[in-house]
Structure 1
Amino acid sequence: WVGTTLGLRGICGDSVCFNPTPARVGKEASGILNVRIFAMQLAGDRFWLATQQGLIYRDSAGKWHPYKSEAGPGKQRCTSLALDGSGNLWVGTAQGLYVINQQEVRHYGLQSGMLSPDVLSLYYDKPENHLWAGTARGCSVLDLNSSLPEGRENPLYITSVNLADSVLHYPERIVLEHEQNTVKVNFIALDLIDPGGVEYRYRLQGGKSEWHTTQNRQIEYSDLAPGSYTFTVQARSRGQGWGEKQELHLQIIPAWWQTHWFIGAGLSVAIVLIIGAMKWQTSRIRRKEAEKRATLERVNHLEQQALSAMMNPHFIFNALGSIQHYMFEHGPEKANNYLARFAKLVRKNMQGAGKTLISLEEEVERLQLYLGLEKLRFEDRLTYSLKVDDALDPKAVMIPSMVIQPYVENALWHGLMPRKEGGSLWIRFSKRERYVYISIEDNGVGLEASKKELKVGHVSQGMKLTEERLAHLSHRYKQSLKVSVRELRNEQDEVSGTQVELYLPLILARDNEELIGGQVS
């Protein structure tokens, strides 16, 4: 092997030929193709090279590697190599002398008595067992007959801790108040030979626990949170390993408002206040909504009462006309019987006038009274039928007050009575899904003929008021109250009567125990 300024070359056989060497060594090291080779040494199964870029060796398998050791020469310029009788490899560098064996790596420099750390060449005197080192300031010799000089351990001390208003000397453990959360830790490693070559590493467990290296002898920590910390520091001289650790235990006592019990109590109080505020706000919103709802209900009820009050005179006017006609036709004696029934019907109407809803049972009873009166008046000219489907409980089902009777009156007066022979009226109540279905059917003159019977421009006051009431009820119950009127025809396409169909929401008494302005009947 030949070391050159352009790398390592090999001589093969009897002829002079140069084999190329690797352009790279390992994954990160630069190659030995164009690097300057200062020295070569065979030691055991390794072939060592001292190069411009550090120490390189070739293993028994023929692979090249950069020599890596925390205490070794690293990538600094290696100028010379020597192997002593004990198998130790000596490496000369510009920063001192290194010895490498299987157990450890040691460094020797000015602190070991050398004339200069800049080693230019090495020579091992095997008979005398001496190592000669040629340096920039002369030749130094090491007697290897005695044990190798040990690398020294430099004493390390944590000398003081600076606080804002005081200094604590040689502390091992300090306890501080919460406002004393800025500290400066001072330390020193004694190296009288090479004081500028001392390096420190430190960490703060309980804070940022990774190691940091520095040549400063003071470390500052500010704004430390309450808690327990351990400050650890180590030192090493140039080329030496890390020495023993020195530790400082530090505790910062939390303020009373930083303690766990206070934080827990504060969180509990905050949670209680937040929940209380949310409940109060929810209650306030509900109360306002209830007040708003009650106001709207009251307005709707007053409107319903007003419409009912307007309908009562309309009914009474029609009934008084019937009484007058009955007296002329049948005389006072029969008229008294008619008046008694009429008084009962008026009383029923007055009882229902202040209510928004009444039971189906009460409505059927009122219709029976009304139709019975009209039957007394018209005798054989009027027949009627009133049926309630078994699916409906008359006592439990609630319907709007004074809604059905105007349609019955209209069918009687404008559908049946224009016929000389009179006619029949059929009223049916049944259940259809979420509605109470009501059918009012007559076999009178029909829709178009009844309109012609009315005076020009006349509008049925009872029908008009009923439509207004249904509009209010539809808004209140958020359901459409459907009403349809159609003319009936027979198979010969002749008019056979009129049918009114109502779809009222199915309301049960248990769901409407509190109605504005009146109790449920």
Structure 2
Amino acid sequence: MMKNIFLACFGILFTFLVNGQQLNFTNFSVSEGLAQSQVYSMLETDGGELIIATQGGGVSVFDGKNFTTISKNNGLLSNNVNILYPYRDSILIGTDKGLSVYFNKQIIRSLPLVAQVSSIHKKGTAYLIGTTNGVFLLKEGKTYQQKNVQLYHKKVTGFFSDSLNQYWVTTTEGVYNLSNPFKRITTTQGLPTNVIACVTESDDYIYLGTEGHGVVTLNKGLQVIADKSFNRKLSVSSLLIDSQNKIWVGTQNQGVFRINKKQIDHYTLNEGLPSNYVKSFHEDHWGNIWIGSFGGGLSRFTETQFVHFDNYSGLSSDYILHLVAIKENKVWASTGTGGISLIGPNRIHNLTKDDQGRTLNRIPVFDIDKNENAWVFEEEKGLAYISFYNGRFGFQRINTDYKLSKINDVKIYNNDIYVATQDKGILKAKLSGSKRSLRFERIELLFDNTGQNILLLQFDPQGNLWFVDERKGLAKLSRNELLYIDNTIDLDIRSITFNKTTPVLGTSNGLYTIEGTHLLKWKNNQRLSSENIYQVAVDKDLNLWVGSEQGLDKISTFFGAPNFQHYGPREGFQGLETTRNAVDVDPNGNLWFGTVKGIEKYAKKSYVRKKIAPLLSVQDIRIGYVPIEQTEYFYFVKDGLQETDSLILPFDKKPIEIELKALDLSTAQGANFTHFLEGYDEMWAPITKRNTILFNNLPPGDYILRYKTGNSQAWTPVRSIRLIITPPFYSAWWFVLLVVLGIIGFIYLIFRIALERLRKNNAALKEKLEMERNLVELEQKALRLQMNPHFVFNVLQSIQEQIIKDDKNKARLVIAKFAKLMRSILENSREKYISIEEELNTVEHYMKLEQLIKSLDFTYDIEVDDELDVNEEIIPPLLIQPFIENAIIHGFKHIKRAPHIAIKVMLETDNNILITIDDNGCGRQKSQSTKSQVDHLHKSLALQVTQERLSILDQSKNDKPLFAIIDKEENGEAMGTRIELRIGI
């Protein structure tokens, strides 16, 4: 049977662990700008600035980001300041040389005294001034020493009133009635000491801070209440009752005690205080407690939902390698110096040596079994089993059938342990029986399908194993199915969690999710504090927590419209930089984060501070880069810039710049701002850290500027300023109307003149075009009529000859042919253009009629190009007939060969038709042998008419002649005439 060896456990008991307090001390000293490190008093202005009284440095003013100093150089009576107190709308500053009055960032007056001012208290309309030489009265701006012989030469430390509304004075020599010198409370009346260092009071009780005897509590009847006193041997130096009725006790050498009924919390240097000597307290508008120390400067105490564990708390080291949260009061964690720690309900237990007394190496990974014991991997040593029982550790090294000196991760699921190795892939063993040895085996499905170096293991809610293979990327093992995720080989996956069933990956390049086998990069990565992610976890409310070197980001509605909440040191997350995959959620819903500075526990059910927005005010208004108080528009400012509700400015005063101030003593990160100019903007401006609103070219109009500020907790109510930009006179409605009417009148006048001129021009042009059109039509009609009488005369002469010869049949035939020809001529003569078919029909009627009346046996043929549309009206009427007539009458005389006429109509170009009339007559030279022939050729009316018609109708740009007569010859002998006519289309 295995022998268990138990090791001694060393732990430290801390009060804040017992009471579960969440602490956050933020310290400020001379290096941050504080005037001096001894803080004797603090007071907050109405605007939220913290006024700090120091010994030797004067007064520091803190706005949440920066310190400014008010000293003797600024009019302060002395740089040794003891007390601050509200005075009307200003502040009384009590120094070792008297009083100074502070208002609006400057000293406005001083009242010297012969003693050091140590305390101040308001009494009706006057003020009681406690000094090292009794009490003075400040009334109507003057000081008078209070007549009380018992108080002369005594140091006054405070004031209070009893149930009879009588005022009492605490001193370092007892408590005295202000009005009756012979009434006092000392050790004779039950006080443990006469040295009273400070006092505060509630509605029912008076609390006296004593030298060496703690806090003595009196009721309003001035009786000591023992069970409400804090009877410890403490030298109390300051007291405060906060808004939750908790009593804060500052001591000279033991830090701070906070008393909440029967619970007492103790804070010292170990918990983060800058000094154990506490001189003053102040609770600000946001619920922070400010602690002024002697020599340590200033500290801001904030309760948060985070509990911080580090080396001071009992951890062996601040650097956390890994952690597993079994329950709220039992968390295992390994640290950078080696060994392992167990955070219990009251103690932190550290195991730093093995069962042989040898120092443990680092434990980078481990997991916890169902019995809450740890199975760990120790660097260079291998696996070990660690138990904890009755305050003692048990340690046992594990023998395995594999040499396991290089392990990247360990996971336990369903009593099986899975080990991700650097050189053997994933190994699995059953946890049962002996803790001395384990028999590992490789998962068969993975043996040939994965690389050897497995970087990370994680089980999803369904029990599927997800792992990161260095060579192949992210994979999912589900029963007997292995599924690799696309495009994950080069992805540096550091942590895996699951939002319900969807994997969420934390990588060095932001967040990713998985859909099927596809890798999807989250679209809102740029909104994270950093994309260099070390940890991801999902809490029970399905919020995603992301840890990086910049702290934590909490993301709600991850798959919808996400909301972000950042946590850093100022929000209580003191560790800031998280460590790789060191994160867990315990069964109670608390989150545990490992960091380089310890462990942070986010307590789900704990103190939640009030959500209070910054204090918002208008810092400055600049008109054309000049502060408004230096301009003629300063009369719009009402009781300070923040009360200004309207501005009326002329159009040429620009730019307009409004500087806002948002003061929040809870954080130095700076507030967020947004604004909306009603009447100009369509929506609120994007949230920004910039606190100025700039309008460069705002047009004239009536606007309302709405603005607000906020922090990570809350936003202020919307504030507004009415902004009226007056227009120039030339944009007034009456001026614009006058100009518009003038322009309209001028345009109308110009239009009428131009219209009249255009009307006249159009009338003249119309008349000219009408005349030209009539002239062309008359010319064409005249031309057509010039050729018709000649032809008609010849036909009638032929009919007459037939009648004389008594050839009635031929005469009837001639008359019929002539009638058809005349009808065709008369119909065509009305048209400007006729079709090729109509023109050729007319020509054919004419040639047949000539054959009858001339008794001339000639032949003819007509050819038309197939590419031409014979029905398209494109040629003038009676264009060809005159040339046919000329060939018959003159060309066929004196020839022995059979007369023939060839007519061709061809498409010469895309824009031109060529008509040729080719005869085999005697030619022009032979016909000129008689004078009548010469006269006819040179003065033929038909030819002249044809040429004129072609010239008038021509619209083409053809370089070839429109009309040509070509004499044909063969061996010097005339062979006829060729006529060419070109018509543009």
If the TM-score is normalised by the length of the shorter chain, which range does it land in? 0.3 to 0.5
Query: Quick check: which one's strand share is greater?
Result: 2
TM-score by structure 2 length?
A: 0.27
Query: Which has a greater percent of helix?
Result: 1
